[in-house]
């Protein structure tokens, strides 16, 4: 460390030998500029700006962006969501994400998965529209990869304009050929201004190919603790905890060009590089796998609803204003409330499917259907 308890350590006996390095010289210059000019001069922390995470008014945001139920509306107007994910090993994650979107109130939910995963996902529920289009390396000859990749993209593009939001990553796996195909799908979605929520193995993909989302304001990343750690190391070249959590999240969102990041934790932190919001209401101590998949589907629905309201009505009388941030706050709050309700009933035996069944009741408690 350079500063401890407000005192520069560059001049201590153990650190004089380090002071000649270029990094330490630059840091010492910065310290002097900030007013720390000697061994015992104090660092004025009050003069430094500090990023604060403001607790979001999540329930009012939920009420503001959730559409009313109207007999005049037709199928599709309440949202059409597509999940890009699902392979041989992982079929539950895309199902959890897609069915959560329907349980919250989306009208249609699609899953684009590998051919092996499709029959399994179909068997979970007839409510989902399942497209067995994706391919993995083991089933594709090297000389056929280019032609098959183009075919996969062309098939997905046929549907793209119908979707209000994509969820990329649940159960995707890390097969190189499959990830290459998904990269092309994401590029086309971005060109078409389709919002993208990225979770699971989708975060593995974008961490290694930041250009897929960098500078795209309709992208939402939903990392858990390990996924967030890898993003911070890649983008900020430091470790988590090297600075205040809210400040670091703000720096990370800025570093990826203003994407929205929902950092999952005891309290969820959300930033688009401009503000940092916190969602700490509700929650559950039960950490069964699959809750992140529910969250991704939830954020996708609320993001699409927020965007529709903003397009239709202009400036909503709520803050923040970004549809990606609004969708993230609403999705986080609803997921946490559903988890708390499920835990009340099932305690240690709470499963992801129990939480999904509480989504409708949770939204009804906050925003009753009329």
Cβ-count burial 28-58 (b if 16+ within 10 Å, e if not): beebeeeebeeeeeebeeeeeeebebeebeb
The string of pLDDT tens digits covering residues 316-358 is 888 889 999 999 999 999 999 999 999 999 999 999 999 999 9
Residue 353 · residue 338 · CB < 8 Å: no
- Sequence-distant (6+) residues with CB within 8 A of 301 are 79, 81, 101, 104, 105, 106, 165, 327, 331
The string of pLDDT tens digits covering residues 123-153 is 999 999 999 999 999 989 999 999 999 999 9
293 annotated to a ligand binding site: yes
Residue reference for tokens 């400036």: 315
From the CA atom positions of the chain, what is the Rg in Å? 23
Average model confidence (pLDDT) for the chain? 87
C-alpha span between 97 and 198 (Å, rounded): 11
pTM of model > 0.95: no
- Edge-to-edge order in the sheet of strand 260-263: 54-55, 276-279, 268-271, 260-263, 219-221, 196-198, 165-168, 80-84, 108-114, 129-134
287 annotated to a ligand binding site: yes
Q: How many residues does the chain have?
A: 370
286 annotated to a ligand binding site: yes
Q: Is the pLDDT of residue 95 over 80?
A: yes
**Do β-strands 260-263 and 268-271 pair in parallel, antiparallel, or remain unpaired?**
antiparallel
357 annotated to a ligand binding site: no
pLDDT at 50: 62
254 annotated to a ligand binding site: no
C-alpha span between 218 and 231 (Å, rounded): 18
Q: Is the pLDDT of residue 211 over 80?
A: yes
- H or E stretch at 293: helix 291-313
pLDDT at 3: 38
266 annotated to a ligand binding site: yes
234 annotated to a ligand binding site: no
C-alpha span between 146 and 318 (Å, rounded): 47
274 annotated to a ligand binding site: no
The string of pLDDT tens digits covering residues 151-209 is 999 999 999 999 999 999 999 999 999 999 999 999 999 999 999 999 999 999 999 99
Q: Is the pLDDT of residue 29 over 70?
A: no
Of the CATH numbers 3.40.50.450, 3.40.190.10, 2.30.42.10, 3.40.1190.20, which one belongs to the domain with range 75-276+290-322?
Answer: 3.40.1190.20
pLDDT at 148: 95
pLDDT at 71: 85
307 annotated to a ligand binding site: no
The string of pLDDT tens digits covering residues 39-87 is 323 323 333 356 678 899 999 999 999 999 888 888 888 999 999 999 9
Domain boundaries, the chain: 2-59, 75-276+290-322
The string of pLDDT tens digits covering residues 287-308 is 999 999 999 999 999 999 999 9
pLDDT at 169: 98
Q: Is the pLDDT of residue 7 over 90?
A: no
226 annotated to a ligand binding site: yes
C-alpha span between 319 and 122 (Å, rounded): 40
171 annotated to a ligand binding site: yes
Residue reference for tokens 């280019």: 146
C-alpha span between 213 and 206 (Å, rounded): 7
280 annotated to a ligand binding site: no
181 annotated to a ligand binding site: no
CA 233 to chain centre: 17
pLDDT at 24: 39
CA distances from 123 to 53, 144, 277, 327 (A): 43, 30, 39, 30
273 annotated to a ligand binding site: no
187 annotated to a ligand binding site: no
284 annotated to a ligand binding site: yes
283 annotated to a ligand binding site: yes
229 annotated to a ligand binding site: yes
Residue 276 · residue 267 · CB < 8 Å: no
228 annotated to a ligand binding site: yes
C-alpha span between 176 and 98 (Å, rounded): 24
């Amino acid at each position: 460390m350079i500063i401890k308890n407000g005192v520069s350590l560059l001049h201590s006996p153990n650190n004089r030998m380090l002071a000649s390095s270029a990094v330490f010289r630059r840091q010492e210059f910065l310290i002097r500029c900030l007013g720390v000019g000697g061994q015992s001069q104090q660092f004025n922390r009050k003069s430094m700006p500090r990023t604060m995470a403001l607790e979001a008014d999540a329930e009012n945001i939920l009420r503001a962006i959730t559409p009313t139920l109207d007999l005049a509306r037709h199928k599709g107007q309440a949202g059409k969501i597509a999940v890009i994910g699902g392979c041989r090993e992982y079929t539950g994650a895309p199902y959890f994400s897609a069915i959560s979107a329907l349980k919250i109130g989306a009208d249609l939910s699609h899953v684009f998965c590998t051919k092996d995963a499709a029959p399994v996902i179909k068997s979970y529920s007839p409510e989902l529209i399942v497209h067995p289009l994706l391919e993995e390396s083991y089933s594709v000859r090297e000389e056929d990869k280019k032609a098959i990749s183009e075919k996969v993209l062309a098939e997905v593009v046929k549907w793209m304009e119908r979707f209000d939001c994509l969820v990329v990553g649940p159960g995707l796996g890390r097969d190189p050929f499959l990830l290459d195909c998904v990269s092309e799908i994401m590029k086309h979605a971005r060109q078409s201004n389709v919002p993208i929520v990225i979770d699971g193995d989708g975060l593995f993909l974008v961490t290694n190919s930041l250009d897929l989302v960098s500078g795209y304001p309709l992208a939402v990343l939903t990392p858990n603790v390990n996924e967030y750690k890898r993003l911070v190391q890649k983008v900020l070249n430091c470790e988590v905890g090297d600075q205040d959590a809210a400040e670091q999240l703000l720096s990370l969102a800025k570093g990826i060009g203003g994407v929205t990041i929902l950092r999952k934790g005891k309290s969820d932190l959300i930033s688009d590089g401009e503000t940092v919001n916190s969602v700490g209401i509700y929650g559950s101590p039960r950490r069964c796998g699959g809750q992140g998949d529910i969250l991704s589907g939830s954020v996708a629905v609320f993001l699409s609803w927020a965007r529709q309201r903003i397009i239709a009505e202009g400036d909503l009388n709520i803050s923040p204003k970004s549809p990606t941030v609004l969708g993230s706050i609403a999705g986080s709050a609803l997921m946490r409330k559903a988890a708390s309700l499920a835990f009340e009933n099932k305690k240690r035996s709470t499963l992801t499917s129990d939480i999904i069944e509480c989504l409708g009741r949770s939204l009804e408690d906050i925003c009753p259907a009329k």
